[in-house]
Amino acid sequence: SPPGLLLLTSFLLHVEEGRASPTRLVCDNRLIQKYIMEAKDMEKTVGQCQVLPTLSCPMALPLVDFSLQQWKSKSNETKQREILCDLALLVGAVAGAQGQVTQECGARQLSQLYRHANSFLRLLQTFSWEAGPWEPSCSPRSVEQTHITGIFLTYRQLVQGKLCFFFHDLAKDLCK
């Protein structure tokens, strides 16, 4: 099945009156576990590609590490904005790296990563909060990366960390 198809299907199945319902998406934690496994698989596969080139133009990647204590003190809206900022920067980095990688294996994996990360970005943008729509005016903490594998590591850490905890936090409120 094409990458991102499950995410798109989940999104389409959970649209209510033109808005995505995060309730059904986060209440089944098998979904986030599947995304974590896909991220790990992509990272492993790109690591097995033959001699990946170093990026001639470094890509800015979000620093996705976080303090659990600080994370717990943030509102779900703030968490969502932070993840959206991280995803927007990551999607841009993947797009930039795609323009520099011609090696088939690396290019194929970057294309898959772009589809996955961009699907998450679009999906999270549809979650509605009282404060109104998300605006892409943010500047997350970032680091420059010249190794393609670092892009995949960042994505896995984002899905396994902030996104997983965000879905968990939403589930506590929405899945009673």
| The pLDDT of residue 159 is above 70 | yes
Average pLDDT over residues 25-34: 80
If one compares 105 and 5, the residue with the highest pLDDT of the two is 105
* Residues 136, 122: Cα–Cα separation, whole Å: 12
If one compares 25 and 95, the residue with the highest pLDDT of the two is 95
Dump pLDDT digits (tens) for 97-146.
999 998 899 999 999 999 999 988 888 887 765 444 445 567 678 999 99
pLDDT score recorded for residue 31 = 80
Phi–psi pair at 20, nearest 5 degrees: -75, 140
Span of 22-26, 43-47, 69-73 with lowest mean pLDDT: 22-26
**Helices (DSSP H) in 15-147: which residue ranges?**
22-27, 30-47, 68-72, 76-98, 104-126
pLDDT score recorded for residue 61 = 94
Average pLDDT over residues 11-37: 63
Q: Which residues pair with 162 in a beta bridge?
A: none
CB 22 within 8 A of CB 174: yes
| The pLDDT of residue 16 is above 50 | no
* Residues 169, 75: Cα–Cα separation, whole Å: 10
Can you list the domains of the chain with their CATH numbers? 22-128+136-174 (1.20.1250.10)
If one compares 127 and 148, the residue with the highest pLDDT of the two is 148
Q: What is the residue-averaged pLDDT of the chain? A: 82
